[in-house]
């Protein structure tokens, strides 16, 4: 009968009690000295008094395998080069010049839970069509930070991804978007900057993303462009000097709050087939048009539109969509210093821009370029206009050219509005203002 010794586990080795040994008097069995503390495990007694070769081999293999499991393994750092596909977290130690490769700078595909930290280094491309400085495709929980991207089609692109974080990056001189989010959800884009791209940010067919504290300037078309997207939050961003500061169309249930648009053609444009949008506490300074919307069932509250070259606030229809420009709440906004009308309600089809509520808004000192009123209704009807102030404008406080069964023969209802110090008088027709 072969006997087994009692084996104890200490640290990263198997340990025999100091007085344990194979009973052989020969030293053919490794580590069997009585004075050694560490011995191989499970020595068996050879029928002839020694440890068998089979026993030695079997137990030494087991002992070494156990040690291999317990010893920390060093994972080789991934090589980083133009066109590399990253499979583990990487921190750049130098710039990447990819102008000769005509493809992506770096790609992360199907590898989630990793990070790319460029540590301030720049990735430069050769303007290849369809290329990206950093492309995330079908990944989640990936972080990209501290990168500077230039010379690609897209600076940083997130495609078919979720729960990724894009933070503190810059993207400039890319031919399409500085940052693109395509068919993706629940991503965070925070404290990035984009300049001299076609669009600073392009959000396409995406939902529930957070776009916060980003700054864009001098982009050719839009600072922030959102199309066919819903449930996104766009907060505390700044867009300067573009055709469109903030653009949203074909979307629903997006929230724009505490953003600033300066010196764009349109500070904010909420265009075709927009519904159920929330537009709060935004500021537009010195744009050609401060805010223009064709939405329905949306809320515009506490926005400030100052110094617009043409109009401060325009509510109109979408020409091709019935029901646009309807059932909106416009409340507590300030429109001042516009070149023409402060607030313009119009329709190209004559039967839209209806059933909106205008309440507690202020229009002051508008009409700097030509005689223009604080509020001008040129079409539509069924709107309710109450508790607004229209003061110091170069035309009337309120001007309404619609006809119907509303106040003073207009198609709208007016109540408790105040009009003071307007050059042409309180309102046309009269009695649209109760205070003088």
* Residues 186 and 328 grouped into a single domain: yes
Query: What is the pLDDT, as a whole number, of residue 58?
Result: 46
pLDDT band at 102, cuts 50/70/90?
confident
Higher pLDDT, 347 or 154: 154
Q: What is the pLDDT of residues 130-186, one digit of tens each?
A: 999 999 999 999 999 999 999 999 999 999 999 999 999 999 999 999 999 999 999
Question: How large is the average pLDDT for residues 408-422?
Answer: 97
Predicted pLDDT at 317:
63
Q: What percent of the chain has pLDDT over 70?
A: 79
Residue 49 resides in a domain: yes
Q: Which domain holds residue 27?
A: 8-70
pLDDT value of position 9? 33
Range with the lowest mean pLDDT among 237-251, 313-327, 383-397?
Answer: 313-327
- For 363-418, the DSSP string reads EES--SSS---SEEE-S-B--EEES-EEES-SSEEEEE---SSSGGGSSSEEES-E
* Count of helices and strands (H, E) across the chain: 1, 45
Of the residues 19, 40, 70, the one at which a domain ends: 70
188: number of Cβ within 10 Å: 15
Predicted confidence (pLDDT) at residue 54 exceeds the cutoff of 80:
no
Of 312, 370, 377, give the one whose Cα is nearest residue 338: 312
Peptide bond into 429 cis (omega under 30): yes
| 289-293/122-125 β-pairing | unpaired
Residue 303, number of CB atoms within 10 A of its CB: 27
24 and 163 housed in the same domain: no
The structure's pTM equals 0.82
pLDDT of residue 120: 98
Q: Average pLDDT for residues 78-104, to the nearest whole number?
A: 95
Same domain, 40 and 166: no
Tell me the mean pLDDT in the region 88-113: 95
Provide the token pair at 18.
């100091």
Beta-bridged to residue 216, according to DSSP, are: 194, 239
3-state secondary structure of 328: coil
**Final residue belonging to a domain, choices 44, 70, 96:** 70
Give the end of a domain, one of 70, 102, 117: 70
Residue 181 covered by a domain:
yes
Residues 190 and 56 in one domain: no
Say if 108 falls within a structural domain.
Answer: no
CA distance linking residue 146 with residue 197, whole number of Å: 18
Q: Say yes or no to pLDDT of 56 above 50.
A: no
* pLDDT exceeds 80 at position 48: no
Reference 285, options 251, 255, 318, 262; nearest CA is 262
Lowest-pLDDT range, 117-121, 235-239, 352-356, 418-422? 352-356
Residues written for the chain: 436
H/E segment holding residue 209:
none
CATH number of the domain encompassing residue 312: 2.160.20.10
Type and span of the H or E element at 64: helix 53-70
Domain count, the chain: 2
Average pLDDT over residues 373-390: 95
Instruction: Find the helix or strand (DSSP H, E) in which 365 lies.
Output: none
Beta pairing partners, 256: 234, 279
> Is the pLDDT confidence value at 190 over 60?
yes
- Residue 79 inside a domain? The answer is no
In this predicted model, what pLDDT tens digit does every residue of 324-337 receive, in sequence order? Answer: 688 999 999 999 99
Residue tagged 């724009």 (tokens)? 256
């Amino acid at each position: 009968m072969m006997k087994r010794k009692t084996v104890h586990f200490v640290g990263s080795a198997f340990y025999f009690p100091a007085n344990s040994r194979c009973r052989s008097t020969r030293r053919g069995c490794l580590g069997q000295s009585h004075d050694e503390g560490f011995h191989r495990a499970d020595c068996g007694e050879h029928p002839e008094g020694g440890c068998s070769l089979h026993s030695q081999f079997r137990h030494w293999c087991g002992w070494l395998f156990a040690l291999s499991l317990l010893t920390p393994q060093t994972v080789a750092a991934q090589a980083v080069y133009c066109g590399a596909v990253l499979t583990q977290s990487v921190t750049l130690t130098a710039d990447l010049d990819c102008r000769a490769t005509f493809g992506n700078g770096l790609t992360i595909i199907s590898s989630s839970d990793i990070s790319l930290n460029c540590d301030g280094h720049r990735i430069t491309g050769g303007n290849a069509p369809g290329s990206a400085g950093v492309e995330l495709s079908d990944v989640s929980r990936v972080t990209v930070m501290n990168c500077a991207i230039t010379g690609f089609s897209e600076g940083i692109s997130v495609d078919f991804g979720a729960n990724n974080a894009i933070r503190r990056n810059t993207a400039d001189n890319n031919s399409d978007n500085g940052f693109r989010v395509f068919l993706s959800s629940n991503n965070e884009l925070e404290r990035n900057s984009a300049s001299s791209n076609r669009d600073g940010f392009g959000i396409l067919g995406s939902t529930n993303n957070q776009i916060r504290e980003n700054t864009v300037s001098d982009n050719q078309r839009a600072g922030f462009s959102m199309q066919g997207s819903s449930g996104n939050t766009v907060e505390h961003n700044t867009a300067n000097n573009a055709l469109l500061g903030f653009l949203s169309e074909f979307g629903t249930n997006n929230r724009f709050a505490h953003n600033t648009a300066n010196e764009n053609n349109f500070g904010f444009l909420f265009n075709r087939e927009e519904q159920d949008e929330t537009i709060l506490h935004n500021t537009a300074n010195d744009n050609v048009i401060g805010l223009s919307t064709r939405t329905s069932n949306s809320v515009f509250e506490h926005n400030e539109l100052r110094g617009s070259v043409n109009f401060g606030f325009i509510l109109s229809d979408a020409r091709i969509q019935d029901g646009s420009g309807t059932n909106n709440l416009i409340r507590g906004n300030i429109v001042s210093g516009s070149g023409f009308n402060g607030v313009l309600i119009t329709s190209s089809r004559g039967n839209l821009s209806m059933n909106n509520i205008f309440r507690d808004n202020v229009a002051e000192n508008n009409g700097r370029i030509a005689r223009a009123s604080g509020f001008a209704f040129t079409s539509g009807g069924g709107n309710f206009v109450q508790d607004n102030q229209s003061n110091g404008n170069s035309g009337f406080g309120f001007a309404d050219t619609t006809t119907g069964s509303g106040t003073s023969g207009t198609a709208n209802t007016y109540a408790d509005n105040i009009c003071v110090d307007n050059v042409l008088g309180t309102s046309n027709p009269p009695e649209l203002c109760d205070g003088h």
